[in-house]
């Protein structure tokens, strides 16, 4: 892609904080989410789930359920085909177990009935004959030879010998001579860490409304981060042409990566096809915890060598991630990001993905990175303590910078790590006095950021206002930021632009809203679409003026002659040009389609002060500051919102949140009471400092900002707690019982 040689520096709309276009709908209850839609003749769909962690499904008898008055359809895996694509087959098998129930809560059958009461009664009438199998939910146990095999024959050939069949893939990154590096160190520390699986915890459970007609057409309304991906997966599972399945994304009540795949949509479509009626499925919270989402849990070893003056000489990590019952690539992201913040001569990271009898892992904000970086940043902090070095100085001394060959291969362009570290060092938080039982911790964070397939249509309305059609569900205020970028480029007020999110039949393919890609990629495509519309408008005006197209420029929402030589004409505004478009060639529009690259990587630094209660082991976060490079903050309020929201999700991960499995392999805490996400009274203000180091790959310098902020809190809090209690912690979450135990061991 062509890069702008000179970054735009002066902005009129970008960088301001206008009201979001979806604001009034959301404060008045008018916004339509997944569960809020209805259709004539709609049925209620419900799903029967495995009560066992691991069991062969010998048979399913649905006859009694089908005979119940009000039941219109029952489906099992027998109602689905066998997609050729392995990843799509995995998604299908996750939506409806085929042959084996692989985890507690795995779907085994579903019904559609004329009421929720009848649907629930029908589920109880379905008889499933299970043969219970031994199960495994712990990552280290699952790797050992002889462990119960979750799925056979799924391992890649490159996996080293000596593991069970559950180890499906192995990845390796790094460069340099480790042995020589460790030999140069004055101090080498090697530690092992574990992190629990956590859930994205969006407040809106998955919901969809599917309507199939006998002629093979389908309409699907659902809460998703990517309607086009939903269409691809569901069309393949249902054996439909993409053109015949129209997917509309509802307003989305939180996703964080967890709504980048499907869980109930193919089931609702199958029930609708069988019943001939629209079918709505809404998950309960219990189902959300048992059968969607969670991120991986991990077991990790990290070894780092450092000189007395704080230079890292070598670094090594071993990452073991369990991603539930299906193969996953998340460990690859962890292995790539583990040491991304450091400029290292010798570094090696090896990662393994492991199958367990747990739900299929789904992406969660910077998937794979928080746990790996937690382990690395913990060891760096311990080295700083051992060598009596300032932890920010050590990070500055070893910081990756422009031109650094990263630990995962590519050489960095302009990056903001050093600027964020320096901002943290200069901030009053870093030197503020600490009280009794308090400790301060910090951590760097990193995320790659993605670009990807993007398609934008920008229409100049006949009154000179602008309609933008884009294809990415808005999870963080992107409709506002996209309107801002269009207004900026066209030189018109923000209020003249309205951005909507199209269904799958109204626009070309767009990748999922993930990888912090939307403000970057859709923004880039919007700017280019605006430039294309400007080109059309300048061309029309050139014809009117009878001058060369190149002699017309666009400035402040008007076409103007490029200079005295072009002739003397009064500027023509976008309104004037639009009003006479019928006479100058018809409607005016700009389009842009791209598989965008050039997403600039993102770094952040978090400072956390905690106070640990010596009586209860409870940790209170007393001060928290987030420093992050946004490239260019298009809407600073929403950038801050990402930084604050991500930080708090990370705080929950560090202190409380965890999937707890019993010895029976059953999930013990599938509800918000026992799976405790942070509440308002747990938290202090989350201070934010936005740095702007322009991304060379975007016309305005924009970088994605959504994912990086969940990365640093894990280590920032662990380092703060470790310093507060005088004992190093190696396990997340640091729930009160664990801290009490750690503190009692010290005494």
Residue 20 or 723 having the CB closest to other proteins? 20
Q: Residue 725: name the closest of 444, 441, 430, 390 by CA.
A: 441
Binding residues (CB under 8 A) for other proteins: these are 17, 19-20, 22-33, 35-36, 117, 200-205, 251-256, 282, 284-285, 475-477, 637-638, 640-641, 644-649, 671-673, 677-683, 685-686
Residue 503 or 657 having the CB closest to other proteins? 657
CB of 684 to other proteins, least distance (A): 9
Residue 83 or 226 having the CB closest to other proteins? 226
Distances (CA, A) of 632 to 10, 117, 266, 556, 691: 11, 52, 40, 21, 8
CB of 653 to other proteins, least distance (A): 12
Residue 254 or 696 having the CB closest to other proteins? 254
> What is the dihedral angle through the alpha carbons of 78, 82, 367, 320, rounded to the nearest 10 degrees?
90
CB of 17 to other proteins, least distance (A): 7
CB of 672 to other proteins, least distance (A): 4
Residue 33 or 430 having the CB closest to other proteins? 33
CB of 116 to other proteins, least distance (A): 8
Q: Which helix (H) or strand (E) holds 396?
A: helix 391-398
Residue 279 or 536 having the CB closest to other proteins? 279
Residues with Cβ within 8 Å of 699's Cβ and at least 6 positions away in sequence, in order, are 4, 7, 8, 524, 527, 528
CB of 545 to other proteins, least distance (A): 43
Distances (CA, A) of 370 to 48, 292, 334, 646, 692: 34, 20, 8, 11, 23
CB of 203 to other proteins, least distance (A): 4
Residue 13 or 317 having the CB closest to other proteins? 13
Q: What are phi and psi of 656, to 5 degrees?
A: -140, -35
Report, in angstroms and rounded to the nearest whole number, the Rg of the chain calculated over CA atoms. Answer: 27
Residue 305 or 477 having the CB closest to other proteins? 477
CA-CA distance, 502 to 482, in Å (whole number)? Answer: 14
Residues with Cβ within 8 Å of 286's Cβ and at least 6 positions away in sequence, in order, are 670, 671
Contact in structure between 421 and 605 (CB atoms under 8 Å): yes
CB of 685 to other proteins, least distance (A): 6
Residue 182 or 202 having the CB closest to other proteins? 202
Query: Is it true that the peptide bond before 733 is cis, omega within 30 degrees of 0?
Result: yes
CB of 286 to other proteins, least distance (A): 8
Instruction: List the structure tokens of 541.
Output: 């005006």
Residue 204 or 488 having the CB closest to other proteins? 204
Q: What is the DSSP string of 193-216?
A: EEE-------SS--EEEEEE-TTS
Q: What is the DSSP string of 651-710?
A: HHHHHT----B-TTS-BS--STTTS----GGG---EEEEEE----TTSTT-----SSGGG
Q: Residue 297: name the closest of 123, 140, 82, 500 by CA.
A: 140
Residue 393 or 682 having the CB closest to other proteins? 682
Residue 67 or 203 having the CB closest to other proteins? 203
Contact in structure between 123 and 46 (CB atoms under 8 Å): yes
CB of 115 to other proteins, least distance (A): 9
Residue 237's Cβ-count burial label (10 Å; 0-12, 13-18, 19+) is: buried
CB of 282 to other proteins, least distance (A): 8
Q: Residue 297: name the closest of 203, 166, 196 by CA.
A: 196
Q: Residue 690: name the closest of 605, 747, 609, 607 by CA.
A: 605
CB of 655 to other proteins, least distance (A): 14
CB of 331 to other proteins, least distance (A): 25
DSSP state of 64: H
Q: Which helix (H) or strand (E) holds 607?
A: strand 602-612
DSSP state of 79: G
CB of 120 to other proteins, least distance (A): 11
Residue 529 or 689 having the CB closest to other proteins? 689
Residue 28 or 568 having the CB closest to other proteins? 28
Task: Give the burial string for 339-358 (b: 16+ CB within 10 Å, else e).
Answer: bbbbbbbbbbbbbbbbbbbb
Residue 219 or 474 having the CB closest to other proteins? 474
Contact in structure between 281 and 95 (CB atoms under 8 Å): no
Contact in structure between 245 and 468 (CB atoms under 8 Å): no
CB of 499 to other proteins, least distance (A): 16
Distances (CA, A) of 118 to 44, 48, 65, 74, 518: 9, 13, 10, 12, 42
């Amino acid at each position: 892609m062509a890069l702008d040689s000179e970054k735009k520096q002066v902005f009129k709309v970008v960088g301001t904080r206008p009201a979001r276009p979806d604001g009034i709908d959301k404060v008045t209850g008018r916004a339509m989410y997944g569960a809020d839609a209805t259709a004539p003749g709609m049925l209620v769909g419900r799903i029967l789930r495995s009560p066992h962690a691991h069991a062969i499904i010998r048979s399913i008898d649905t006859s009694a359920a089908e005979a119940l008055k009000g039941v219109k359809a029952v489906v099992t895996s027998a109602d689905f085909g066998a997609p050729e694509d392995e990843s799509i087959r995995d998604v299908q098998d996750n939506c409806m177990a085929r042959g084996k129930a692989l985890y507690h809560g795995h779907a085994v059958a579903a019904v559609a009935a004329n009421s929720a009461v009848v649907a629930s009664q029908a589920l109880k009438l379905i008889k499933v004959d299970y043969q219970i199998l031994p199960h495994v939910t712990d990552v280290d146990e699952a790797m050992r030879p002889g462990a119960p095999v979750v799925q056979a024959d799924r391992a890649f050939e490159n996996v080293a010998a000596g593991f069970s069949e559950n180890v499906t893939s192995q990845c390796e990154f790094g460069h340099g001579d480790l042995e020589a590096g460790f030999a140069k160190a004055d101090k080498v520390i090697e530690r092992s860490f574990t992190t629990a699986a956590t859930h994205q915890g969006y407040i809106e459970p998955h919901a969809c409304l599917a309507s199939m007609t006998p002629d093979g057409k389908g309409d699907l309304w659902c809460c998703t981060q990517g309607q086009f991906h939903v269409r691809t997966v569901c069309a393949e599972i249902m054996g439909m042409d993409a053109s015949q399945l129209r997917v509309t994304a509802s307003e989305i009540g939180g996703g964080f990566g967890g709504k980048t795949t499907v869980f109930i949509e193919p089931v609702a479509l199958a029930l609708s096809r069988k019943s001939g009626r629209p079918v709505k499925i809404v998950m309960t919270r219990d189902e959300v915890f048992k059968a969607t989402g969670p991120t991986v849990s991990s077991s990790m070893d990290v070894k780092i060598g450092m000189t007395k003056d704080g230079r890292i000489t070598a670094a090594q990590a071993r990452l073991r991630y369990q991603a539930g019952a299906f193969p996953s690539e998340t460990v690859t992201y962890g292995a790539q990001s583990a040491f991304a913040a450091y400029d290292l001569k010798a570094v090696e990271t090896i990662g393994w993905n492991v199958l367990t009898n747990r739900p299929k892992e789904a992406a969660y904000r910077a998937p794979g990175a928080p746990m790996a970086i937690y382990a690395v940043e913990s060891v760096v902090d311990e080295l700083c303590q051992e060598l009596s070095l300032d932890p920010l100085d050590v990070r500055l001394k070893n910081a990756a910078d422009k031109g650094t060959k990263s630990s995962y291969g590519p050489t960095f362009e302009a990056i903001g790590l050093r600027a964020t570290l320096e901002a943290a060092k200069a901030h009053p938080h870093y030197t503020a006095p600490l009280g009794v039982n308090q400790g301060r911790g910090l951590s760097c964070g990193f995320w790659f950021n993605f670009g990807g397939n993007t398609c934008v249509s920008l229409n100049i309305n006949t009154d000179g206002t602008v309609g933008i059609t884009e294809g990415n569900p808005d999870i963080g205020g992107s409709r506002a930021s996209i309107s801002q970028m269009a207004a900026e480029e066209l030189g018109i007020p923000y209020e003249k632009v309205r951005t909507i999110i199209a269904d799958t039949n109204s626009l070309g393919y767009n990748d999922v809203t993930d990888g912090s890609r939307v403000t970057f990629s859709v923004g880039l495509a919007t700017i280019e679409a605006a430039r294309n519309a400007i080109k059309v408008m300048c061309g029309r005006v050139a014809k009117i003026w009878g001058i060369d197209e190149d002699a017309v420029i666009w400035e402040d929402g008007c076409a103007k002659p490029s200079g005295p030589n072009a002739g003397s004409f009064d500027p023509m505004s976008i309104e004037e040009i639009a009003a006479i478009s019928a006479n100058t060639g018809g409607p005016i529009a700009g389009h842009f389609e791209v598989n965008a690259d050039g997403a600039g990587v993102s770094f952040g630094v978090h400072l956390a002060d905690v106070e640990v209660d010596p009586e209860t082991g409870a940790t209170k976060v007393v001060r928290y500051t987030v420093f992050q490079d946004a490239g260019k903050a298009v809407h600073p309020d929403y950038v801050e919102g990402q930084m604050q929201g991500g930080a708090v999700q990370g705080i929950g991960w560090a202190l409380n949140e965890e999937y707890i499995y019993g010895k029976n392999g059953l999930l013990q805490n599938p509800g918000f009471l026992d799976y405790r996400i942070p509440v308002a009274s747990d938290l202090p203000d989350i201070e934010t400092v936005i740095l702007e180091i322009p991304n060379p790959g975007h016309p305005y310098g924009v970088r994605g900002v959504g994912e990086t902020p969940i990365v640093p809190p894990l280590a920032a809090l662990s380092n703060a707690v470790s310093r507060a209690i005088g004992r190093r912690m190696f396990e997340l979450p640091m729930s009160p019982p664990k801290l009490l135990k750690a503190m009692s061991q010290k005494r």
